[in-house]
Every structure is written in C-alpha cells, then in structure tokens.
Amino acid sequence: MKMRTRITVIGIVVGICLLICGGLVAFSEPGGADDPVVTKSYIVDIVIPEIKAYIDERFGIAASEGTTTLHTNTFTVVNVPAGKTVTCEAGTELILRMGKGTIIATEKGGLADTTEGVDLANGTAMPSNHQLIVPVADGRGFRADTDVIVMVKGSYVIE
C-alpha cells in the first residue's frame, strides 16, 4: 500500500506541475519578454536600430547635408570626388593612391610627410604614396583637384 501512495502523490505533483507550466505558456504574450521566440519585426524594429546607434556612437559615423564625418581605426580606402575638401582631426594619417590633391594647411604649419621627413605647406601638391600625418585639428587636410583615392586612418570630414 505504501508504494501505491507514493506513486499517487508523485502523479499528483507531476500533474500540478504540468498544469502550471501549461498555464504559463497559454497566457504568455507571443513576442513578449516571456516568449523566447525572436521575430523578424523584433530584429528589424529593435535590434538593427540599436546596432546602428552603437556604431554611430562608437565610430563617429554621421552624415548631414553633403558632409560626411568618419573615423577609422585602420586604413580605409576613401573615394573623394574632384572639388571636395577633406578636413582631418589630429593624428589622422593619409596616403594618396590615385589622383591629384592640394594640401590645405594653416599658418601654424602643414601636414607632416613622414616618407620624406618634411612639412607640406598650404598649396603644395599632395605626393602619391607618401604617409602624411595631420598634427593638429585646425582645418588641415587636402582639396581633391581630380577624383582621388586616398587611404585614411583617423577622423576626417568630406565637404
């Protein structure tokens, strides 16, 4: 008799647990916090905007009225149309790969050409395949005389 009582008690406990779990599943809202299923609308409406906001905040990517501001931690190939100017922040590195550009400098100095070991003054032709470093964020950069392909590491604005 003792064995039959134990089996009955275990059966009742298991039955109660099944009823409770079934009730929780039946009354949980689909797509809600209690439902582990991830829907496409959740990805599109919640996850992707959060990822974009994180990238914009982390890497300083923004665009407004024809101006593009970017920050790269590695060299990135950038196409600059003729007539546009690229203004750089301090520490930005540039390597002209194709086209012709003119250095934009200030009265404090120009861009450091680390390949030649010289300072490039305002109006100087931008040399190809030379590593140029912008020492101060005071409006220094270059103007694209033709369509330009340049490798950039650091923060810059294309206007």
- The residue length of the chain stands at 159
Least confident of 68-72, 91-95, 118-122: 68-72
Number of alpha carbons in the 13 Å side-chain half-sphere of residue 114: 10
Q: How far apart are CA 157 and CA 142, in angstroms?
A: 11
3-state secondary structure of 61: coil
- Kindly tell me if the per-residue pLDDT of 1 is higher than 70: no
* pTM of the predicted protein model: 0.56
Question: Hey, what domains does the chain have and what are their CATH numbers?
Answer: 2-53 (no CATH), 60-158 (2.60.120.1030)
Contact 109, 143 (CB under 8 A): no
In the predicted model, what is the mean pLDDT of residues 49-57? Answer: 75
In the predicted model, what is the mean pLDDT of residues 40-54? Answer: 80
